[in-house]
Structure 1
Amino acid sequence: MSEIEQNPALSGQRNDPSFENVWQELKWRGLVHVSTEETELEKVLSGESITYYCGFDPTAPSLHLGNLVQLLNMRRLQLAGHKPLGLVGGSTGLIGDPRQTAERVLNTKETVAEWVGKLESQVSRFLSFEGENAARMVNNLDWTANLSAIDFLREVGKYFRVGTMIKKETVAARLNSDEGISYTEFSYQVLQGYDYLKLHQLYGCTLQTGGSDQWGNLTSGTDLIRKAEGKSAYAYGTPLITNSDGTKFGKSEGNAIWLDAEMCSPYTFYQFWLNTADADAISRLKVFTFLSRAEIEALEKEVAERPFARKAQKELAYLVTSLVHGVDATEKVIAASAALFGQGELGDMDEATLRAATQELKSTTVTGEDLDIISVLMASGLSESKSAARRTISEGGAYVNNVKYSDHEAVVSREDLLHGRYLLVRRGKKNLAVVEVS
């Protein structure tokens, strides 16, 4: 059984029956910001199976939440009966698409090749490679590695007009900045357009999807196919997602939310979604889950009537974490969250999950063998003095690893350490800290 078949969060359904076609569902979910020939594209997507693609450049060793929008978008189209091509840019990753602000740092060929492998693995988890509309992974280095600069200019460059290229939004912004833009990054749109042309020639690909910030690159491909082949091809861009309060989506404490578990733990990932604001919860459910319109509208009603229950956020966190990290990892995260506050077994938590779950708590390191409870409370910072520690114990509010301590003379031994190193110290119901014993 393939990985996607083992993950019920990704299984979805071919179409939500409440929609006339997949295009209408995409629009309801807020996944269409701009497109070529919308009426014709809707008709195409409602007809026989077509081949489409979305590209991902290896500019980091992992994809992030912005990429997740595109991955789930690809899965929706596949569930509607269309054939996906997942492209990881072994050649475009050596260049990097232009950013609004400054030139990218060019990574080594060895680094890019390593990251290509990692991204291919991530993309593959969201698509099915079996059946009539099986997915295929492609790498644009396959058709550019042996292409000479002369051939590229003669066969591809002749179709591009500089006047049109400099009007592309990102290019125009960079040209008007102090930073300017190098010929390397300026040429990126030609390379992406060439990708679409090659996929059209090799696999009959007629649709490209991506973020609306990539619109200039997407249309470079549709224009090239029209000029070089005399045929129609389509593209549509998803909107950039922002939070209702104006802050940037996809970051927590200023750090990107990555899909790689080593770069962003499943616990941190789950908590990010759990902390979604009420005003954003429903739109996130539309974009990042395969819940039906009826299910989402029921949760929308729940948010309006019982916002304190945070049912939409809990469903969102569970489903998206299951999509990315699997159901088992998600269940462990939920159990870990409960265990922190005495509603589960801390000893059942693996060390990586424990460290992730406690990384934002007060923490300190102490040395020694067995420690008395007074010293532990003081070391944790939850009691500022011996008298305060004694008072906490007397009031029944002292816990170490969820065990209540009532004796002022009690000792916490090394045998009590979690994973031989950690003590989770709690004062009352909600005040937590970590003491690491070296």
Structure 2
Amino acid sequence: MTDILDELRWRGLMAQSTDIGALRAALAEGPVTYYCGFDPTAPSLHHGHLVQLIVMRHLQQAGHHPLALVGGATGMIGDPRMSGERQLNDKDTVAGWTDRLRGQIERFLDFEGENGARMVNNLDWIGGLTTIDFLRDVGKHFRLGTMLAKDTVARRLESDEGISFTEFSYQILQGLDFLELFRRYGCTLQTGGNDQWGNLTAGVDLVRKAEGASAHVLTTPLVTKADGTKFGKSEGGAIWLDADMFSPYAFYQFWLNADDADVVRFLKIFTFRSREEIEELERAVSEAPGAREAQRALAEDVTTLVHGPDATERVRRASQALFGRDDLRELDPATLRDAVAELPQGPAEVGRSTVMDLLVATGLEKGRNAARRTISSGGAYLNNEKVTDEEQLLRTEDLLAGGYALLRKGRKNLAVATVDEA
């Protein structure tokens, strides 16, 4: 491997550092103990957290010691947003979400060996901190002018809703995390998103003032699409890493649908493929974009990273089966349900609905005459079998798991007829 900072920069995973020369020297002398924090303000991590987990993994593979912090304390407050106060969640909710996030994070890091990862929870040191100790031992190191100048704080102060003392104090608590991890584990590097710069540097300043020691910050840039628009939103909202909140099939399809202008950059950021492999895929995008080889590599790698190889194989087969390249009946019910969840749907009755009816009911055709023409021209399929009889009825044996029947018009237009099995 090249110098780890050069590797991260080539991959588009570096934005800012407090002192790049000093950090490079520290990493070269190594190993360095570093941490990244994840607040349980939701029951799952999302694609933005994925970037941070990948950075942590790169650093661990380069021989450094990771600390993964789940903010059981800071999660009860929440990092200030650019607009509007966060809703405060109760202790039991935050505790439950803390456990869920720990389980997600553990899949990305190696907890064995000389530089095995360690999970930490800031509730362990913040939970028992008295108000007097907080003000005397921590608060005295912070200056209001510096705190008020933080970008998020400044914007909130200029807004109509302002900012509460609770959220204003968040940067002190995050700074305390860095100090505590420095004292407990010799941690000297914190990583995070570039939008967190102010909170991250608060920890560097606190370590310097309280301990007279040097510490470092390394941030990642905000990932955007080639056209400058925000990356990482689906029709249903965030790209969650939890399979129950965003199915592995939908997750796979999200990456598979990456634009040609974005896919090489996403391969660098979100996969661990070598430079040579990515350069080869870049040539494939240029020479044969229709094959979408790079998109398939991206979807398979990221889905495997997040959900595991078995889930990736199931959704890959489902994706193929929808278009007749694998057997629909071999898909498990959950994967089939996820695969058809975003398709147009229409009601059907076994023994009464004809394929012509179903083409209209699902919206694949606007009327019976159009449906009749599609069937006669050989462009209608039921469960990937070509339909030649416009009066063909839907039979019980046509139903897939969950009461579905897959309809296709031409090569790419899909819909699902559903039968109420109750």
TM-score (norm 2): 0.96
Q: Indicate yes or no: 2:40 matched with 1:58.
A: yes
2:72 aligns with 90
Shift of 1:405: 2.6
Partner Cα distance (1:406, 1:282) in 2: 43
Which of 105, 111, 114 is the matching residue for 1:123? 105
Partner Cα distance (1:199, 1:420) in 2: 50
2:227 aligns with 245
Partner Cα distance (1:277, 1:300) in 2: 13
Which of 235, 253, 269 is the matching residue for 1:287? 269
Partner Cα distance (1:408, 1:80) in 2: 63
CA deviations on 1:350-394 (whole Å, 9 max, x unpaired) are 222222222232111234555333333332333444444333333
Partner Cα distance (2:162, 2:372) in 1: 65
1:181 aligns with 163
CA deviations on 1:141-167 (whole Å, 9 max, x unpaired) are 011111111111111001111111111
Partner Cα distance (1:240, 1:188) in 2: 21
1:301 aligns with 283
Give structure 1 regions of 4+ aligned residues with deviation exceeding 4 angstroms: 367-370
Shift of 1:338: 1.3
CA deviations on 1:159-193 (whole Å, 9 max, x unpaired) are 11111111111111111111211100000000000
Moved more, 346-355 or 408-417: 408-417
Q: Indicate yes or no: 2:244 matched with 1:267.
A: no
Summarize the Cα distance change of 1:283–1:411 in structure 2 as closer, same or farther, 3 Å threshold: same
| Aligned partner letter, 2:43 | P
Partner Cα distance (1:431, 1:93) in 2: 44
Answer yes or no: is the 8 Å Cα contact 2:350–2:396 preserved in 1.
no
1:158 aligns with 140
CA deviations on 1:183-226 (whole Å, 9 max, x unpaired) are 00000000000011111111111111000111111111111111
1:139 aligns with 121
Shift of 1:413: 1.4
Partner Cα distance (1:352, 1:328) in 2: 14
| Aligned partner letter, 1:238 | T
| Aligned partner letter, 1:84 | P
1:335 aligns with 317
2:26 aligns with 44
Answer yes or no: is the 8 Å Cα contact 1:370–1:414 preserved in 2.
no
Answer yes or no: is the 8 Å Cα contact 2:350–2:393 preserved in 1.
no
| Aligned partner letter, 1:173 | R
Summarize the Cα distance change of 1:397–1:298 in structure 2 as closer, same or farther, 3 Å threshold: closer
1:104 aligns with 86
Which of 150, 175, 196 is the matching residue for 1:168? 150
Q: Indicate yes or no: 2:144 matched with 1:148.
A: no
Partner Cα distance (2:356, 2:273) in 1: 50
| Aligned partner letter, 1:25 | E
Summarize the Cα distance change of 1:399–1:327 in structure 2 as closer, same or farther, 3 Å threshold: same
Summarize the Cα distance change of 1:120–1:24 in structure 2 as closer, same or farther, 3 Å threshold: same
CA deviations on 1:68-96 (whole Å, 9 max, x unpaired) are 00000000000000110000000000000
Moved more, 67-76 or 47-56: 47-56
Answer yes or no: is the 8 Å Cα contact 1:157–1:190 preserved in 2.
yes
| Aligned partner letter, 1:281 | V
| Aligned partner letter, 1:167 | A
Summarize the Cα distance change of 1:360–1:76 in structure 2 as closer, same or farther, 3 Å threshold: same
Which of 389, 392, 415 is the matching residue for 2:374? 392
Shift of 1:326: 1.1
Q: Indicate yes or no: 2:42 matched with 1:71.
A: no
Partner Cα distance (2:112, 2:246) in 1: 30
Answer yes or no: is the 8 Å Cα contact 2:350–2:394 preserved in 1.
no
Answer yes or no: is the 8 Å Cα contact 1:58–1:88 preserved in 2.
yes
Summarize the Cα distance change of 1:144–1:299 in structure 2 as closer, same or farther, 3 Å threshold: same
Q: Indicate yes or no: 2:397 matched with 1:415.
A: yes
Moved more, 116-125 or 253-262: 253-262
Partner Cα distance (1:290, 1:135) in 2: 19
CA RMSD of aligned residues (A): 1.6
1:8 aligns with none
Q: Secondary structure at the match of 1:247?
A: coil
Summarize the Cα distance change of 1:301–1:406 in structure 2 as closer, same or farther, 3 Å threshold: closer
1:371 aligns with 353
Q: Secondary structure at the match of 1:241?
A: coil
1:428 aligns with 410
| Aligned partner letter, 2:169 | S
Shift of 1:283: 1.3
1:406 aligns with 388
Summarize the Cα distance change of 1:383–1:281 in structure 2 as closer, same or farther, 3 Å threshold: closer
Moved more, 312-321 or 381-390: 381-390
Partner Cα distance (1:189, 1:349) in 2: 49
Summarize the Cα distance change of 1:361–1:420 in structure 2 as closer, same or farther, 3 Å threshold: closer
Q: Indicate yes or no: 2:67 matched with 1:81.
A: no
